[in-house]
Amino acid sequence: MKDLKIAGRYYWHYLKPYGWGFLFTAILIGISTACVVIAPTYLGRAISELTEYLKLWSNPATRGGANLADFHGTLIAYVLFYFGDASSLLIASWLLAKITAYSTGTMRIGLFRKMQRMRVQYFDQHSDGDILARYTSDLDNIFNALNQALIDVFLAIAQLIGILIMMFNQNVTLAWITMATTPVALGLAAFVMHKAAAAVDQQQTDVGALNGYINEQVTGQKVIITNGLQKDSVAGFQVHNQTVRKTAERGQIWSGILSPLLSGLSLLNTAIVIFAGSWLALNGQMSTGAALALVVVFVNYAQQYYQPIITLTSLYGMIQLAITGARRIDEVRSQPDEVRPVNGKAINGIKSELKIDDVRFSYLPGKEILHGVTIDVQKGEMVALVGPTGSGKTTVMNLLNRFYDVDSGQITIDGVDLRDLDLTQLRQTVGIVLQDPQLFTGTIADNIRFGEPTAGMDRVIDAAKQANIHDFIISLPDGYDTKVSDEQNIFSAGQKQLMSIARTILTDPRLLILDEATSNVDTVTEAKIQKAMDNVIQGRTSFVIAHRLKTILNADRIVVLQHGRIIEQGSHQELLDEHGFYAKLYRNQMVFD
């Protein structure tokens, strides 16, 4: 019920602008239904006019007065009714197809825009597969329901109203008798639909888990091959596949059971109508001929009466998926946006200092990650963050760029709290080179000028030179025009890292955060990255998250984090002299190098 409310709100939001279109569609469907319901009466009239004509024509005395004009007129009207039915249905389908295409297009762009405004936290807490499924299967389910089910729902409702009007018009007693089994049908439908809804929900969850497994196994294919785990991978897949098969089967059985049940009930209903109609005829409340004619008409209605209900219930699975889809997309829509200060203070680089002051932070309530971290950085200084894995280095970086906000304490630039600064300007001030650099579809040049799409080729080349990647780029047959795409990923981790450094150099940020990624590259590339990093750091205030200590020997300050606390701080030499954690870490690494 809650899902229905959420889905109702969602569809209202996106379908509201098409109110006129829906009204017009409803009118067209009303016309079509009226044509279908009225046309048979014209057929009856045509037959009686033909009989009348034959009667006059067969008698020579009256033959002169026999004419087929009325019969022809009725036949033409009969054909026109069917033409009216077909053409109004055609226009209604065309209208609905247009509304569906436009509204789902708006839903898609709405979802995409929302993703760009959301907090990083959402992306950290949801898998890529789950986020992607909202664009693909959830929106597809909505599209299918709007495209296929909507017109059938409209038609079924109109048909039901049409039949009710005709029945009460013909005979009120028999109309009530025909409707007598409705509560049983509705009760049955409610029960089966409740079971089907639970099964469809479970099916969606299990399909999600199967997709997650496939995603994980495809991404980790190399690890699986090198460990010879192909058989285990298939076995794991079979477990998921089996679960999906079972729940899909249950879902299909419950979804499919209703239609035959209601068809059976419709037969029972017909029998009741025949019995009651005959009783009325035998009890002499009306002439036998009229009563029998009425029974025939109502047998027809009784058979038609359940058709709209059967149609509506057979569309239930599709409608249920569209409700679940709307609920899942609405979940994204209702996520809080990134907090942007109103009238945020302008920022133009760092004039004197950046201060991290007694900062406490937790990703999840009650699980504090940083416990009172304080770091002062003067303009132009290079600070290196070192520490064991999970000590909080990346977390500090996340706070500097306002991916997250501190729980207590503050981070200031020239005395102004980050939360009071204009967010767009802050992001322009901070440049980040991530450990796992991301390239986008386009050319190499497009990727380097990603942060500033209008930058000219001279600036792109200059940035690439500073990042030590120019020679490699021009050695490629298409040089800077070489295409980069997901399917055609021809670059090594080191080359990607260098392109990402070039991208950062081009935007000329005043505060730089480098998440060092020299762990899986060869020594030549490592030296190149080191040189590129030195170039990019030059003249900028910078934070370097260092894994290899020899890359940060000339840092102005080295901050050692452990379990979210600063345990040592100073220059390389000062820390060596302290003979503490850093000195030990350094000696250990030197042995390996």
Ligand X SMILES: Nc1ncnc2c1ncn2[C@@H]1O[C@H](COP(=O)(O)OP(=O)(O)OP(=O)(O)O)[C@@H](O)[C@H]1O
Q: Is 69 in the site for ligand X (CB under 6 A)?
A: no
- With beta carbons less than 8 A apart as the criterion, state whether 18 and 103 touch: yes
Q: In whole angstroms, how close is the CB of 405 to ligand X at the nearest point?
A: 14
Query: Please, what is the end-to-end C-alpha distance for the chain in angstroms?
Result: 63
Q: Is 389 in the site for ligand X (CB under 6 A)?
A: yes
Q: Is 402 in the site for ligand X (CB under 6 A)?
A: no
Q: Is 393 in the site for ligand X (CB under 6 A)?
A: yes
- When binding is defined by CB under 6 A, the residue of 394, 425, 492, 562 that contacts ligand X is 394
Residue 73-112 contact track with ligand X, rule CB under 6 A, x = bound: ----------------------------------------
The DSSP-derived string for 145-180 is IIIIIHHHHHHHHHHHHHHHHHHHHH-HHHHHHHHT
From 238-246, 261-269, 390-398, 414-422, span contacting ligand X (CB under 6 A): 390-398
Amino acid making up residue 51: T
Q: Is 343 in the site for ligand X (CB under 6 A)?
A: no
From 267-275, 363-371, 437-445, 525-533, span contacting ligand X (CB under 6 A): 363-371
Give the C-alpha separation, 193 to 154, whole Å.
20
Q: Is 392 in the site for ligand X (CB under 6 A)?
A: yes
The DSSP-derived string for 86-154 is HHHHHHHHHHHHHHHHHHHHHHHHHHHHHHHHB-HHHHHHS-HHHHHHIIIIIHHHHHHIIIIIHHHHH
Closer residue to ligand X, CB minimum distance, 84 or 387: 387
Q: Is 530 in the site for ligand X (CB under 6 A)?
A: no
Q: Is 116 in the site for ligand X (CB under 6 A)?
A: no
Task: Locate 347 and state its tokens.
Answer: 């920022």
Q: In whole angstroms, how close is the CB of 396 to ligand X at the nearest point?
A: 7
Q: In whole angstroms, how close is the CB of 448 to ligand X at the nearest point?
A: 26
- How wide is the angle at C-alpha 517 spanned by C-alphas 511 and 523, nearest 5°? 125
Secondary structure E strands in 320-458: 353-364, 367-378, 382-386, 408-413, 416-417, 430-433, 442-443
Secondary structure E strands in 425-510: 430-433, 442-443, 483-484
Residue 421 DSSP SS3 = strand
**Cα of 583 vs its chain's centroid, Å:** 50
From 6-14, 192-200, 392-400, 570-578, span contacting ligand X (CB under 6 A): 392-400
Closer residue to ligand X, CB minimum distance, 362 or 425: 362
Task: Locate 350 and state its tokens.
Answer: 């760092």
Q: Is 433 in the site for ligand X (CB under 6 A)?
A: no
Closer residue to ligand X, CB minimum distance, 351 or 563: 563
Q: In whole angstroms, how close is the CB of 563 to ligand X at the nearest point?
A: 9
Rounded to 5 degrees, what are φ and ψ at 377?
A: -125, 125
Q: In whole angstroms, how close is the CB of 498 to ligand X at the nearest point?
A: 21
Q: Residue 16, class by beta-carbon neighbours within 10 Å (0-12 exposed, 13-18 middle, 19+ buried)? A: exposed
- When binding is defined by CB under 6 A, the residue of 17, 260, 264, 390 that contacts ligand X is 390
Task: Locate 514 and state its tokens.
Answer: 């480098």
Residue 367-386 contact track with ligand X, rule CB under 6 A, x = bound: --x-----------------
Number of residues that bind ligand X (CB under 6 A): 12
Give the C-alpha separation, 349 to 541, whole Å.
10
Q: Is 395 in the site for ligand X (CB under 6 A)?
A: yes
Q: Is 363 in the site for ligand X (CB under 6 A)?
A: yes
Q: In whole angstroms, how close is the CB of 394 to ligand X at the nearest point?
A: 3
Q: Is 124 in the site for ligand X (CB under 6 A)?
A: yes
Binding region for ligand X (CB under 6 A): 124, 363-364, 369, 387, 389-395
